[in-house]
Amino acid sequence: MTGQLKCISPIDGSVFATRDTLSRDEAFAVAERARAAQAAWAARPLKERIDLVLAGVAAVGAMNDEVVPELAHMMGRPVRYGGEFRGFDERASYMAQIAESSLADMEVGEDATFKRYIKRVPHGVVFVVAPWNYPYMTAINTVAPALIAGNTVVLKHATQTLLVGERMAKAFHSAGVPEDVFINVFLDHDTTNDLIAGRAFNFVNFTGSVGGGKAMERAAAGTFTGVGLELGGKDPGYVMEDADLDAAVDTLVDAAMFNSGQCCCGIERIYVHESLYDAFMEKAVAVVKGYKLGNPMDSDTTIGPMANVRFATEVRAQIAEAVEAGAVAHIPTMEGDDGAAYLTPQILTNVTHDMRVMREESFGPVVGIMKVSSDAEAIALMNDSDYGLTVSLWTQDVERAQTVGDQLETGTVFLNRADYLDPGLCWTGCKDTGRGGGLSVIGYHNLTRPKSYHLKKVTK
C-alpha cells in the first residue's frame, strides 16, 4: 500500500505537487536495481563517468528557466535571485576536476619482491537524503562525487521540494547516465527506515534536522552502514574592533536573512566588540528595514515567505519568548507579514544565552546581537552551543583570526566572509551538527573505502 506526498506552496498554501510513495517491496526492488547496475558503472573509465556527470549537470542548467519559478512555488525563494545553478555547477565541476588525483592509487612501495598500494573503491549504492532549503546544491554535493567515484545513487528529496530529484534524474538520464545508476525515489519515513535497516544501501548521506539524523543512525544501527550527517547549526559571527564595519554589516545581515534565514550555514547570532556595537546596530537595522517582504514571484521582492507555516510559527515563538524575557525587537511588523508563512525579518538585542533564540536553531530570518569586550568573552559565547558548523570572524589581522579560530568548536572558520561553500574545502561539522564531510578530496574519501594490495612477486 502506498501513500502520497504533498508539496504545499508557501506562496498561498495551495497544493503545488503530489507524488505517490513507493511501497516497501517497490522500494527494495529499486535499491536492487541500483545494486545490480553498480559494477558495470564502476567498470567504466573514470573520464567517461566524469563526462556523463558533467553532461547531466549541464542538462540541469538548461532547465533553469523552469527551475527558478518552480523553486519559488515550492519553498518561497524570490525569483530575483535566479536559482542555484551557479553553485550547483561550481561544486560538480570542482569535484570532477580533482577526481583523478583524489581517487588515484596510493603507492606504498615496490621492489623486486613486493608491490604495495591502496586503492579507493566505491562503497556500492549511496543513498542521498537531501533537504529543501538549497535542494539542488545540497544534493549535488554528494550525487556528483558519488557517481564519479563509481557508486550508484538513490536520491530522496524533502517533500517541500518534491520535484527537484525528479528533475535531476531526468536531466542526468537525458545526458546518458543509465536510469538504474541514478534513481530518484518518493518514500515515506517508515519505508526509508526499513531500507536502511535492511542494508539496502552501502552508505547513507543525510542533510536535515538533528532529529532526522538521529533517526538515520537508529535505522543503521547494527548494519555497519556508513552514515554521513550534516544537521543543524547556530552559526555565530564575531566582529572585532578593527573590522571593516560596512562589509561586516552587509555580509552578516545577508547571511542571517537570505533565503528567509533558511540556510544551513546562515548566521543566527552575532557578537560585536563594544567599540563598534552602536554603529553596527544602526547600520544593520537600516539594512533589514529596507527589505521588501512579499510574493517570491514578484521581481521586487527581496525576502519571501518561509517554506512552511510551521517553520514560521517556530521562529515567531522564539522571538516572542525572547521579547517576553527582555529582548528588544528592532524591526516593526512589515506590510507583507500575514501571521503565517510570510514573516517579518527580525533583529534582537538585549538577548542572553538563556533564550531559545540564542541556543536552538531558528532556521529563519531572525538574529540576536550581543556586545562583547574581548576575544576571550566572544570565544566562550561562540562555543556555548550544541552546534558547530561555521563561524564568521571579522578582523584585519589574519593571525589573530587563526588564533581565535583554533579555539572554536566548529567545522569551518570564515574570515571576512560567511555563508559560502568552497568545494576545495571539506564541508563538515562537529557536535550536534553531525559527522563526516563532503566536497574536497575528503568528500571522495568518504564516498569510497580503502582497499589494500600487498602483492608478492614470484621470483626464481
> Could you give the residue numbers annotated as active site?
230, 264
Q: How far apart are CA 306 and CA 71, in angstroms?
A: 12
- Residue partners of 94: CB distance under 8 A and separation at least 6: 423, 424, 439
Closest alpha carbon to 204 in 149, 128, 137:
128
List % helix, strand, coil for the chain (3-state, nearest 5): 40, 25, 35
Query: How many CB atoms sit inside 10 A of residue 267's CB?
Result: 27
Burial environment of residue 41 by CB neighbours within 10 A (0 to 12, 13 to 18, 19 or more): buried
Q: Quick one: 12 exposed, middle or buried, by C-beta within 10 A (0-12, 13-18, 19+)? A: exposed
DSSP 365: S
- Interatomic CA distance for residues 135 and 167, integer angstroms: 11
Grouping H, G, I as helix, E, B as strand and the rest as coil, residue 395 is coil
- Cell numbers 538549497: residue: 134
Instruction: Give the span between the Cα atoms of 458 and 21, in whole angstroms.
Output: 57
DSSP states along 375-394: HHHHHHHHHSSSEESEEEEE
